[in-house]
Amino acid sequence: MTKADITGERLLRIAAKLFREKGYAQTTVRDIARVARMKPGSLYYHYPSKEKLLESVIDRGFNTILNAVSEAVNSLPPDAPAKQRLRAAVAAHLRANFEYGDYAVPGKQLLDRVPAALRRKYMRARDQYDALWRDLFEAASAEGAFRAESSGGIARMFVLGSLNWTVEWVNPGRKSFESLADAFVDLVYFGLAPREGERQAASPPLARRA
């Protein structure tokens, strides 16, 4: 990686963080240059505009999570049970969402800011990601994991929405992504009701952070 590439990556990280914390409209090129300790004119050598920085941030956010989850699922044996594949997908999403949250959050919030052609590109990527999860839920349903009358679409969107929100509350120093993935998949498979044969006991107060 060249010195210019390293600087470009650094600028992208700074821009993503500022877009997430301050908002895209409230973040100026001068803000980004000031944090990077460089002149605004020098920033334009790497990115010709703030809009191009936003495009790069959104691109990184979409591709990182899509690739992470795809690789996690594809690394399992073809005959792996649907529950194992779902758990791998959840853990990969959690990890990528936490490690690249500064890229992922602006991508979800600011998609309407990019030109229409780019928005269509990202919508296709989002549809591709949704199709990956739809396949996971359909495989679980085919194995008899869910009630016949259950709505896989609602469950899928519920899980994805919950996973995306974890950037605001997950503390990986207290719980691993794998243990959180177990909790998510248990909720999908069993809900909050006691499993058959289990005795319902009083639950401790819910913790504010996991």
Residues 121 and 158 in one domain: yes
Contacts of 142 (CB under 8 A, 6+ apart): 82
Query: Mean pLDDT, the chain, as a whole number?
Result: 84
SS3 192: coil
In a domain, 114, yes or no: yes
Q: How confident is the model at residue 198 (pLDDT cuts 50, 70, 90)?
A: low
In a domain, 200, yes or no: no
Residue 61 CA, chain-centre distance (Å), reads 8
Residues 74 and 150 in one domain: yes
In a domain, 195, yes or no: no
Of the chain, the percentage scoring pLDDT greater than 70 comes to 86
In a domain, 141, yes or no: yes
Residues 34 and 77 in one domain: no
Q: What share of the chain is helix, strand, coil (3-state, %, to 5)?
A: 70, 0, 30
Model confidence over 23-75: pLDDT tens digits? Answer: 888 899 999 999 999 998 889 999 999 888 988 888 888 888 999 999 999 99
In a domain, 111, yes or no: yes
Model confidence over 135-151: pLDDT tens digits? Answer: 999 898 888 888 766 66
Residues 105 and 17 in one domain: no
Residues 181 and 81 in one domain: yes
Q: pTM for this one?
A: 0.81
Tokens (6 digits) for 2 = 């060249």
Count of domains in the chain?
2
Contacts of 57 (CB under 8 A, 6+ apart): 12, 15, 16, 19, 103, 106, 107
pLDDT at 91 over 90: yes
Average pLDDT (70-99) is: 93
Q: What pLDDT, on a 0 to 100 scale, did the predictor assign at position 206?
A: 52
Range of the domain at 121: 52-190
Comparison of pLDDT for 105 and 182, the residue scoring more: 182
117: CATH:
1.10.357.10
Residues 132 and 56 in one domain: yes
41: CATH:
1.10.10.60
